[in-house]
Amino acid sequence: MKKHLFTFSLCLLASFMSKAQQDLTLFNFNDIPQSSYSNPANQFNGKFFIGLPVLSSSYYSLSNSGFAYSDFIKQDGDSLRLDFNSMIAGLEEENFLSFNTKIDLFSFGFKLGNSTQIMFNATENINMRFNYTKDLATFIHKGNLAFDDNTADFNGTALSANYYREYGISLSHQLTNKLRLGARLKYLYGIANLDTKRSDLKLTTDPNTYALTATADILVNSSGNTDILSSSSLTGEDGFLSGSGNRGFGIDLGMNYELNEKLSFNASVVDLGFINWNSNPTNYLISKGRSFFDGIEIDAFSPQDDTTGTSSYDRLVDSLEVAFNVQESNNSYTNPLVGRIYMGANYKYNERLVFGGLIQSEFYKRNIKPSLTLSANYKATKWIGLAASYSMINRSFNNLGIGVNINPGPVQIYIVSDNILSGFRPQHARHAQVRAGINFIIGSTKTKEINPSYGGEIATKKAND
């Protein structure tokens, strides 16, 4: 039990160090094949592409909805000081920290006829998300006496850490002159998971003795091989390379609709799916537990000169386990993916410039986290594409994004970020995100027209002229 508590604590600490969001600037950057990860209806400019293993697409995203570094660490003359009051004042009742990384192991795609494209990908996904309440931050700073009835309520505090591999196949088809549809089917291979399914925790402080009384109703699930780098785990039945009992499925859906030569609409829903966690599942349940705590000895982490040789911290963990009646079981469980919805509209100012607006919403544990993006995509030359964006993300309003796509021949090099300022002023950023990669594309149309691969109304009119 102590080992599991220690592992859980490390994961909790890691989530505090994390900050995230998804591709917003890339959504309308159609020349890049990876734009289809946000909208599977998108079609890249070319007949065939192959992504370099690992190098074709590396994605990193960090986000903190509650505060930035500068809200917490203040300059005081030549020194720095912690300003808990300023940080806590800016928090909502519920806040979150999150981290995402996605790395393509391989990817390729090709065009069938004039209207259909097919893509394949294998992608490593690692994400951590931590929901925390304003009460939790206040309790850390001021203790329970800062609350009515001396009771702090941490209901809603939750941690999710997830590592899985995705094998996807997508199809994008120009159904009519105006409408293009796309879908991606995904087989999911779960590697490791830790998830707080239920979290209802309250702490009450005695105003005279300052002793704590804790009540809890908590369910934490975990699954996967915790020693994934050992030789046995690489080749075993539930190994990192050879297979796992954790399997799931997902689907992405998308559409592009061209109303006329100037105005078009697009929408997608991605990561609808689930993973069944069957490999080494462990469940920790505290059902309406209650514990009394009146302090810890100064030598809490030092072994005692007694027959057991244990520290008072060890004895505290043991007593908490007994007091809360922690029940451990090994039942399989199912976790949904974190789904996202994109809805946007584009206005084609001329053949080289398109303006767009995009609303994105993320769904996590019955919470909706929306964002709004305004963008411009510009074809500078026949082989250079540029993008710029402004986004309101996680109660953050200083997110300026950029994108560069260089494709002089068969080699395409790109980099896209939703908040370039985070690289120059990280102390003020609540959100940082970047995707970069190298692709080989054959049969692309070298033209100054933006989105030349679009096979809809504009292409039909040009063919008839």
Q: How far apart are CA 405 and CA 286, in angstroms?
A: 52
Q: Does residue 460 carry a pLDDT above 70?
A: no
Query: Are the C-beta atoms of residues 106 and 121 closer than 8 Å to each other?
Result: yes
Residue 72 has which token pair? 């917490």
81-90, 151-160, 190-199, 291-300, range with the lowest pLDDT:
291-300
Q: Does residue 82 carry a pLDDT above 90?
A: no
Task: List beta partners, residue 366.
Answer: none
Tens digit of pLDDT for each residue in 232-256?
Answer: 455 455 555 545 689 999 999 999 9
Tens digit of pLDDT for each residue in 370-418?
Answer: 889 999 999 999 999 999 999 987 667 778 999 999 998 899 999 999 8
- What is the pLDDT, as a whole number, of residue 457? 46
- What is the pLDDT, as a whole number, of residue 19? 37
Q: Does residue 175 carry a pLDDT above 80?
A: yes
Give, to the nearest 10 degrees, the angle between helix 312-324 and helix 2-17. Answer: 100
Query: Are the C-beta atoms of residues 130 and 62 closer than 8 Å to each other?
Result: no
- When mean pLDDT is compared over 148-162, 307-321, 371-385, 428-442, the highest value belongs to 371-385
**Secondary structure, 3-state, 30-91:** CCCHHHHHCCCCCCCCCCEEEECCCCCCEEEEEEECCCCHHHHEEEECCEEEECHHHHHHCC
Q: Which residue has the higher pLDDT, 46 or 86?
A: 46
Q: Does residue 22 carry a pLDDT above 70?
A: no
Instruction: Find tokens 């925790």 and name the residue.
Output: 201
Q: Which residue has the higher pLDDT, 13 or 311?
A: 311
Q: How far apart are CA 200 and CA 222, in angstroms?
A: 18
- What is the pLDDT, as a whole number, of residue 16? 34
Q: How far apart are CA 459 and CA 455, in angstroms?
A: 5
- What is the pLDDT, as a whole number, of residue 297? 47
Q: How far apart are CA 332 and CA 113, in angstroms?
A: 45
139-143, 344-348, 375-379, 408-412, range with the lowest pLDDT:
139-143
5-19, 122-136, 232-246, 314-328, range with the lowest pLDDT:
5-19
Tens digit of pLDDT for each residue in 86-110?
Answer: 778 778 788 878 889 999 999 999 9
Q: Does residue 133 carry a pLDDT above 70?
A: yes
Residue 314 has which token pair? 């060890």
Q: Does residue 357 carry a pLDDT above 60?
A: yes
- The secondary structure of residue 209, as a DSSP letter, is T
- What is the pLDDT, as a whole number, of residue 73? 73
The whole model's pTM is what? 0.80
- What is the pLDDT, as a whole number, of residue 10? 37
Q: What share of the chain in percent tops pLDDT 90?
A: 42
- What is the pLDDT, as a whole number, of residue 429? 65
Q: Does residue 452 carry a pLDDT above 60?
A: no
Q: Does residue 292 carry a pLDDT above 50?
A: yes
pLDDT mean across residues, the chain: 80
Q: Does residue 257 carry a pLDDT above 60?
A: yes
- When mean pLDDT is compared over 152-156, 274-278, 291-295, the highest value belongs to 274-278
| pLDDT average, residue stretch 36-42 | 95
Query: Are the C-beta atoms of residues 220 and 195 closer than 8 Å to each other?
Result: yes
Q: Does residue 335 carry a pLDDT above 50?
A: yes
| pLDDT average, residue stretch 418-424 | 76
- What is the pLDDT, as a whole number, of residue 282? 92
- What is the pLDDT, as a whole number, of residue 229? 46
- What is the pLDDT, as a whole number, of residue 242? 47
Q: Which residue has the higher pLDDT, 335 or 70?
A: 335
Give the burial string for 56-92 (b: 16+ CB within 10 Å, else e): bbbbbbbbbbbbbebbbeeeeeeeeeeeeeebbeebe
SS3 state at 210: coil
Q: Does residue 311 carry a pLDDT above 70?
A: no
- What is the pLDDT, as a whole number, of residue 359? 94
Q: Which residues are CB-contacts of 38 (< 8 A; sequence separation ≥ 6)? A: 22, 23, 26, 27, 268, 270, 342
Q: How far apart are CA 331 and CA 180, in angstroms?
A: 43
Q: How confident is the model at residue 135 (pLDDT cuts 50, 70, 90)?
A: confident
Tens digit of pLDDT for each residue in 424-440?
Answer: 666 666 777 899 999 99
| pLDDT average, residue stretch 121-149 | 83
Q: Does residue 364 carry a pLDDT above 90?
A: no
Q: How far apart are CA 220 and CA 314, in angstroms?
A: 21
CA 173, distance to chain mean position in Å, is 28
Q: How many CB atoms are closer than 10 A to CB 174? A: 22
% helix / strand / coil in the chain, to the nearest 5? 20, 50, 30
Q: How confident is the model at residue 66 (pLDDT cuts 50, 70, 90)?
A: confident
> Angle at the Cα of 270 (from 374 to 109), degrees rounded to 5?
95
Q: Is 430 exposed, middle or buried (0-12, 13-18, 19+ CB in 10 A)?
A: buried
| pLDDT average, residue stretch 200-209 | 79
